[in-house]
């Protein structure tokens, strides 16, 4: 569902009614300490409580990892859900009327919310129906299959609410519509029944199948997987896509695995429902499964939200079909892996077994050991290239070399590429160490023929170096300087005018995108709400709420909303700090101008355009002089202020 932008009044009412202590205490054990409450932080592992909740300020803050915010941000971070979804859930919980910025969309939004709630409800009732049917005489074959073939005990069957869809054509239809009185349109939109081709009546979507309920990350039932008991095809059948179920974005078991994924800091992805269930039953609960479709980027990002190191282990079947599925999954997320957004590893179990089969004959400890030693995806792909190949035969060695070169050419990181060039050279040398240098040179020439040549020095390079001019800007310096000014503006209202005037005097603007975003939000709030010097906390609170809709920017600026004791002391020298920070910002801009003039000067021929060359050189000299002046204004190191 596409949620329209919520009206600020709705957000404000939700914020006023949602007590941060009540919300947090549902997930964290809190103990009273003075006026506040403390507990173990849910966002990182700790043994000594550093997580503080203030009922007076309606804020929480962790002095260990820096997480902080209000009730809304807490639920956003804990559940990895969007701002609008959290506000809507809290609005329903606290009976807050929902308004949008476009009044004409309000009715449509309420209709969509109502539809989704009805779909969640009917899916929950259907889950109970299927689970009950499994315990009846008609579900005995399905129950025997789960207990004997899959070796699932009653606790596992209950935990995953496994069920059975009776063989009749209208069994669920009659139960939901005739007994429970659900509207037929809702049951159809939930994907539980289908209209007959004749247009006369409906029939059950799942019939004579084992039912595996699928949940969203919040644990709500959104779809089903059905496995046939006989020869009916397909063997596995998923619910059709609905307003609450999207196969390409959903992972089976993520609701049960997300906490352990965060704890283990990695996620295991398997192919089948029963593989994931078997792993959870064995205590390996940081595992999820795809839904019978190729693993998508959306699914990868959904589970990696809970892993700081972004480590993902693919454990697909080791047979030909499983290998192809692994190759497809790698192809879908290779760009993320190359860019370092996912730490991808591949696990193939011995003898071509899947996880469920392996755990029938091996202990969970054996599986965990294999997980620990799972190779990186590039190593796995290289292994696949040389599997069953005789590299001492020239034709086969040539084919493998061509495939290796294609793989190596995609590695952008020079250090990583160098490592794998040496690794491939050792493989192609077939144990003859004398051939390794020759293969390295061969691969270098084919993979990156130009990247290892020393570039010729640019014209006038010696002249430029002799002039002793600075040649590089400093993003870290700019990050620190801009953050200092924003912190002073946010937490010390009495100096806001001085900060504004200092920026205007030097004609400076915030350059980094996340700082620019926050400054624009500040100016908009000051202009529209006339925030006074006594309203520092009000401004910060308003900004936190408004910035929540922008997840990427919020993460980048969240630390600016809080001051620890050390930073408060360091920022107390306001006059010097503001001067140093603005001087640093101007210095970075001056360095940019210097580099532009340097490039123009180097590209200008002194013989054919002497006046232009002299003009650029004079601009360089002036930039150098200004840089020296700015360095004098930086009276202490900004790194000491952060």
**Residue 564 — very low, low, confident or very high, per pLDDT cuts 50/70/90?**
low
**DSSP β-ladder status, 202-204 and 209-215:** unpaired
Question: Is a pLDDT exceeding 80 seen at residue 99?
Answer: no
For position 396, what pLDDT does the model report?
87
Which DSSP string corresponds to 272-283?
A: SHHHHHHHHHTT
69: helix, strand or coil: strand
The tokens 């259907």 sit on which residue? 126
End-to-end Cα, the chain, rounded Å: 42
3-state secondary structure 551-565: HHHHHHHHHHHCCCH
In this structure, are residues 330 and 377 in contact, taking their beta carbons and an 8 Å threshold?
Answer: yes
pLDDT band at residue 188, thresholds of 50, 70 and 90?
Answer: very high
Bridge partners (DSSP) listed for residue 314: 269, 346
- φ and ψ of 259, to 5 deg: -70, -40
Distance CA 73, CA 81 (A): 10
Residue 191 has pLDDT above 70, yes or no: yes
DSSP state for residue 351 in the 8-state scheme: G
Contact 98, 10 (CB under 8 A): yes
Rounded mean pLDDT of the chain? Answer: 84
Q: Is the pLDDT of residue 2 over 60?
A: no
Residues 505-530 have pLDDT tens digits of 988 999 888 898 889 888 888 766 55
Residue 497: which residues within 8 A CB-CB, separation 6 or more?
none
**Ramachandran category for residue 431: left, alpha or beta (phi over 0 → left; psi -120 to 50 → alpha):** left
Cα–Cα nearest to 100, from 116, 123, 89, 84: 84
Is the pLDDT at 439 greater than 70, yes or no?
yes
pLDDT digits (tens, 9 = 90+) for 328-374: 888 888 888 877 778 999 999 988 789 999 999 999 999 999 999 99
CA 535 to chain centre: 35
Of 130, 189, 140, the residue nearest 160 (C-alpha): 130
Give dist(CA 513, CA 345) in Å, integer.
33
Per the CB < 8 A criterion, the answer to whether 478 and 596 are in contact is: no
Question: What value does the CA radius of gyration of the chain take, rounded to a whole number of Å?
Answer: 31
Q: Which residues are bridge partners to 32 per DSSP?
A: 37
Cα–Cα–Cα angle for 583, 589, 590, rounded to 5 degrees: 80
DSSP 386: H
Distances (CA, A) of 238 to 77, 191, 285, 315, 528: 30, 10, 23, 21, 51
Residues 6+ away with beta carbon under 8 Å from 245: 191, 214, 222, 223, 239
Q: If you write DSSP's letter for every residue of 418-441 in order, what string do you get?
A: HHHHHHHHHHHTTT-GGGHHHHHH
Name the pLDDT band for 244 (thresholds 50, 70, 90).
very high
CA 504 – CA 626 distance, rounded (Å): 18
Q: Which residue has the higher pLDDT, 401 or 79?
A: 401
Q: What is the pLDDT of residues 447-462, one digit of tens each?
A: 876 554 333 333 344 3
Range in 55-59, 403-407, 585-589 with the lowest mean pLDDT: 55-59
**pLDDT > 70 fraction of the chain, expressed in percent and rounded:** 88
Neighbours of 402 (CB within 10 A): 12
Residue, of 234 and 571, whose pLDDT is higher: 234
- Helix (DSSP H) and strand (DSSP E) numbers for the chain: 28, 15
> Residue 235: pLDDT band by 50, 70, 90 thresholds?
very high
Paired sense of beta strands 287-289 and 266-270, if any: parallel
Residue 192 dihedral angles phi and psi, to the nearest 5° = -95, -25
Contact 337, 345 (CB under 8 A): no
Confidence of residue 381 (pLDDT cuts 50, 70, 90): very high
Count of beta carbons in the 10 Å neighbourhood of residue 370: 17
Residue carrying structure tokens 């049960």:
256
Instruction: Give the helix/strand (H/E) hosting 34.
Output: none
Q: Say what percent of the chain tops pLDDT 90.
A: 38
Per-residue pLDDT tens digits for 272-310: 999 999 999 999 999 999 987 788 888 998 888 778 788
DSSP 174-217: IIIIIIS---HHHHHHTTSEEE-TTSS-EEESS-SEEEEEEE-T
Higher pLDDT, 572 or 69: 69
């Amino acid at each position: 569902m596409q949620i329209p932008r919520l009206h600020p009044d709705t957000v404000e009412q939700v914020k006023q009614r949602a007590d941060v202590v009540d919300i947090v205490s549902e997930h964290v054990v809190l103990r009273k300490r003075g006026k506040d409450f403390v507990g173990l932080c849910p966002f990182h592992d700790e043994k000594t409580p550093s997580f503080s909740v203030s009922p007076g300020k309606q804020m929480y803050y962790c002095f260990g990892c820096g997480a902080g915010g209000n009730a809304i941000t807490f639920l956003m971070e804990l559940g990895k859900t969007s701002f609008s979804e959290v506000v809507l859930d809290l609005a329903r919980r606290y009976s807050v009327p929902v308004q949008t910025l476009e009044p004409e969309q309000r009715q449509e939004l309420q209709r969509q919310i109502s539809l989704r709630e009805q779909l969640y409800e009917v899916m929950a009732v259907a889950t109970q129906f299927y689970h009950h049917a499994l315990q009846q005489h008609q579900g005995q074959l399905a129950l025997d299959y789960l207990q004997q073939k899959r070796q699932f005990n009653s606790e596992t069957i209950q935990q995953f609410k496994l069920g059975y869809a009776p063989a009749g054509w209208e069994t669920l239809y009659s139960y939901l519509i005739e007994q429970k009185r659900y509207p037929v349109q809702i049951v159809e939109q939930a994907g539980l029944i289908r209209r007959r081709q004749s247009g006369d009546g409906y029939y059950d979507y799942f019939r004579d199948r084992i039912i595996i309920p699928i949940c969203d990350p919040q644990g709500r039932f959104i779809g089903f997987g059905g496995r046939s008991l006989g020869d009916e095809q397909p063997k596995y059948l998923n619910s059709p896509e609905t307003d609450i179920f999207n196969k390409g974005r959903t992972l089976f078991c993520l609701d049960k695995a997300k906490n352990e994924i965060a704890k283990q800091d990695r996620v295991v992805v398997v192919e089948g429902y029963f593989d994931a269930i078997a792993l959870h039953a064995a205590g390996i609960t940081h595992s999820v499964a795809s839904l019978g479709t190729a693993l998508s980027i959306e699914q990868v990002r959904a589970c990696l939200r809970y892993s700081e190191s972004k480590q993902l282990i693919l454990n697909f079947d080791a047979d030909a079909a499983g290998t192809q599925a692994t190759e497809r999954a790698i192809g879908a997320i290779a760009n993320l892996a190359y860019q370092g957004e996912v730490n991808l590893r591949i696990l193939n179990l011995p003898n071509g077994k899947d996880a469920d089969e392996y755990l029938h004959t091996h202990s969970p400890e054996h599986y965990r050991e294999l997980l620990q030693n799972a190779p990186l995806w590039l190593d796995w792909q290289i292994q696949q290239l040389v599997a069953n190949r005789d590299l001492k035969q020239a034709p086969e060695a040539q084919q493998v070399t061509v495939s290796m070169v294609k793989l190596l050419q995609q590695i952008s990181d020079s250090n990583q590429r160098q490592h794998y060039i040496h690794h491939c050279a050792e493989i192609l040398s077939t144990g003859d160490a004398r051939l390794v240098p020759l293969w390295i040179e061969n691969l270098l020439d084919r993979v990156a023929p130009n990247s290892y040549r020393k570039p010729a020095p640019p014209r006038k390079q010696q002249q430029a170096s002799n002039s002793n001019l600075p040649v590089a800007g400093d993003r870290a310096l700019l990050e620190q300087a801009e953050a200092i000014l924003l912190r002073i503006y946010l937490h010390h209202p009495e100096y806001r005018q001085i900060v504004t005037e200092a920026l205007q005097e030097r004609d400076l603007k915030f350059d980094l995108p996340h700082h620019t975003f926050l400054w624009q939000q500040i100016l908009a709030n000051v202009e529209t709400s006339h925030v006074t010097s006594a309203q520092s906390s009000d401004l910060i609170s308003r900004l936190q709420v408004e910035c929540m809709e922008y997840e990427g920017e919020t993460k980048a600026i969240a630390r600016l909303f809080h001051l620890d004791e050390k930073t408060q002391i360091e920022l107390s020298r306001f006059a010097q700090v503001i001067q140093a920070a603005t001087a640093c910002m101007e210095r970075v801009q001056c360095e940019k101008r210097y580099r532009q003039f340097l490039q123009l000067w180097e590209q200008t021929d002194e013989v054919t355009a002497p006046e232009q060359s002299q003009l650029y050189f004079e601009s360089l000299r002036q930039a150098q002089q200004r840089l020296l002046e700015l360095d004098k204004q930086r009276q202490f190191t900004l790194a000491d202020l952060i």
